[in-house]
Amino acid sequence: MQLLVRLASARPIFVRMWTDLLMPILLIQTRQNTLELNRAESNATQTAASVFRMAIVNSKDVARVAIAGMTDEGELDRIDVLRFLTLVDEITWFSVLIWQRQRIGLIPRGQWERNYSVLGILLTRRGAVWWDQNKASFPPGFAEDVDNAIAAQQIRTLSLGITRYQPSGDSAAM
């Protein structure tokens, strides 16, 4: 009977030892899984971006529409305007994916800010008009962050003496 009492009183000690041994192993596994998840997210982001980049590389027509659309003097017919605005939409939604992944911690902080890929196109005449008309369809925090980044970029370009297009809300400007 005394043996059972002693074993029963020793039980918390064994549980504590087992917990102390198991916790570091679980922490190491969690860290490894987190690193693998971050790597997989990074790979998925690159794969998604690669489709767009390869479309420009493999098609002179897509590249021509992108360049003409981003150039204020670029001439686009109605079909090319639609194609360009579709590119703007795709680039912007791709940027949303990066922004969301950063917000939930799947990619490192600052990645979206370092890759303001959407800004270059939204600072153009056609991109600015498109953004002004469509930003309400994006997540509110994203729209605010893009607007803040655009404002910061416009301040930087003004300080360098470079002028950028300011949307007037007139959709005929496309």
- As a whole number of angstroms, the distance between CA 65 and CA 56 comes to 9
Q: What is the pLDDT of residue 155?
A: 66
Res 162: pLDDT: 44
Residue 77 Rama label (left phi>0; alpha psi -120 to 50; beta): beta
Q: Residue ranges per domain, the chain? A: 48-173
Distance of CA 156 to the CA centre of its chain: 22
Q: Residue-wise pLDDT tens for the chain (174 aa)?
A: 677 677 667 677 777 777 777 788 888 888 888 778 777 877 777 787 788 788 888 999 988 998 888 887 778 899 999 999 999 998 898 888 888 888 888 777 877 777 666 788 888 889 999 999 999 999 989 999 999 888 887 766 555 444 444 444 454 555
Report pTM: 0.65
Q: What is the pLDDT of residues 26-39, one digit of tens each?
A: 888 888 887 787 77
Dihedral angle, C-alpha 101, 102, 105, 110, nearest 10 °: 160
The predicted structure's pLDDT at residue 109: 81
Q: What value, to the nearest 5°, has the Cα angle with vertex 34 and ends 45 and 99?
A: 35
